[in-house]
Chains A and B, each alone.
Chain A
Amino acid sequence: MADITEIKHRIKSIQDTHQITKAMELISVAKMRKAIQKQSYSSVYLDSVRYTLKDIMLHSTDIHHKYLEHRSNNRAAYIVVAGDKGLAGAFNNNVLNLAWEHMQEHPVHYVITIGQMARAYFEARHQTVDLEFTHAVASPTMHDARGITWDILDLYDRNLMDEVYVVFTRMHTTALHEPTLVKLLPIEAKDIEVDLQNTYSGQLSYDPSPKEVLNVLVPQYLIGVIYSALIHSAASEHAARMMAMSNANKNAEKMLDTLNLEYNRLRQSSITTELLDLSSGRFFSENNLHQKVGQRHGKAR
């Protein structure tokens, strides 16, 4: 059985940790709500951009755009979006492992990381990180997304890569998020998922021409994809952290329960022993037992 002061120490330290995890859970809940709200706004926007883009690509003939054309080589580039911090369950590992597995099949690549955990992961595996973005993880803005998109397009234009993939965590519900890999460039009609049913099925005309509209749409689409990846990832990270922290809270409460029980038991037993000592001492002196014992000792001598 452990020492009573030792148990007291453990209770204290678990209580402290419990307090921290509780605070972290509350913070994650608030941040997740904000991120989910942002995500719902951006998804309306992105869905419509996707729909219009796909409509033009499917129904208009003779459209050329440098980001729609397939390049002959297959040098792949990866944009990996993970968190800045740990303590979020398996969130970082899931998305990073998916990226890593996919990379093993595409040998020539260029790695762009968003978030410190992503960089640390690749450094530990001796995979050089060619470009990294910080500050875009905690609360992504359109400005961040625009900056990242222009930088990537610049590299793409310089012909350093032929395909660009984005790896991020997609959030379905607060409890369900899965790591996802989407192809960003070149844009192909089959890669654009559209879950939006347009109310209007007739032929739309484009002003001034499908090509001009496409020129506006393509950068909007790319920025939109990056922005939504950042937001999905941020929302998932907060949700994952919230779940991890609520588990930690439950564990801490359970541990505190058993430790308190043990502490009380030990305290009780030490009180009992002390009482026993006291009462037996009193019993001893009241009946002058020590004298009798002394006499008996004297006789024996």
Chain B
Amino acid sequence: MRTFFLEIITPEKTFFRGEVESINIPSVGGACTVMAGHQPMVFAVEPGAIRITADGKTREAFMSEGFVEVRPDETIAFSQAVEWPEDINERRAVDAKERAEEQLRRNRSAAEYRLNRVALARAFARLKVKHHNYMSGD
């Protein structure tokens, strides 16, 4: 299978670098998969799970809001936070979820509502990735 070079970058570290076969991203316009030879494009990404396939194995990771840039030579994903399931702090995600739900109930302004919606989406995505334990062959 043809591969392409993928880099996943956060402000704090380079999360992933290497040849992959495909990456599945939760784009704002709907989930989609990027494979080798994709048209150059920039995708806006919502908080959710990404799936990276390399050497026939698929791994799932959490990715916060960001964007993915597909270039002819490589693909770069940018996000505030990207975490493998084992690095996700479940306790913090649960706390964040409860906090966001509480804030949504109060629902003060439109801007806060939007912020809390995104925070809630992040918390849900983290918890989902944590418990999914997506590994090919399982």
Residues of A within 8 A of B (CB): 38, 41-42, 44-46, 48-49, 52, 142, 146, 150, 153-154, 157, 198-200, 202-208, 212-213, 215-217, 220, 223-224, 227
Nearest residue (CB) in B for A153 is B111
Dominant SS at the A interface?
helix
- Report how far A52 CA is from B77 CA in the complex, Å: 12
The CA of A205 and the CA of B38, in the complex, are separated in Å by 12
Interface size class of B (residues with CB under 8 A): 20 to 34
- Residue ID in chain A nearest B79 by CB atoms: A220
- A48-B69 contact in complex given A142-B81, A207-B29, A212-B28, C-beta closer than 8 Å: yes
Assembled-state Cα–Cα distance A142/B10 (Å): 10
Residues in A neighbouring B12, C-beta threshold 8 A? 38, 41-42, 142
Chain A residues in 8 Å Cβ range of B81:
142
Chain A residue with the shortest CB-CB distance to B13: A41
Do residues A216 and B73 form an inter-chain contact, with CB atoms below 8 A? no
Q: Which of B106-136 contact A (CB under 8 A)?
A: 111, 115
Interface centre among A38, A45, A206, A212 (most CB of B within 10 A): A45
Docked pose: A150 CA to B27 CA in angstroms = 24
- Contact call B41/A199, Cβ cutoff below 8 A: no
Closest to B45 in A: A216
Kindly state whether residue B62 has any CB partner on chain A within 8 Å. Answer: no
CA distance A265 to B88 in the complex (A): 68
Chain A contacts of B36 at CB under 8 A? none
Contacts of A44 in B (CB 8 A): 9, 14
Question: A207 contacts which of B43, B72, B76, B78 (Cβ < 8 Å)?
Answer: B43
- B9 CB contacts on chain A under 8 angstroms: 41, 44-45, 48
B80 touches A220 (CB 8 A): yes
A227 to B72, CA, bound (A): 30
Contact A206 B42 (CB under 8 A): yes
Given A207-B41, A216-B66, A217-B44, 16 more A-B residue pairs with CB atoms under 8 Å apart are A41-B14, A45-B9, A48-B78, A49-B78, A52-B42, A52-B67, A142-B81, A153-B111, A202-B40, A206-B41, A206-B43, A213-B42, A215-B44, A217-B67, A220-B78, A227-B11
Is B57 interfacial (CB 8 A cutoff)? no
The closest CB in chain A to the CB of B81 belongs to A142
- B49-86 near A? 1/0 per residue, CB < 8 Å: 00000000000000001110101110010101100000
Chain B residues in 8 Å Cβ range of A217: 44, 67
Most chain A CB inside 10 Å of its own CB: which residue of B29, B66, B76, B80:
B80
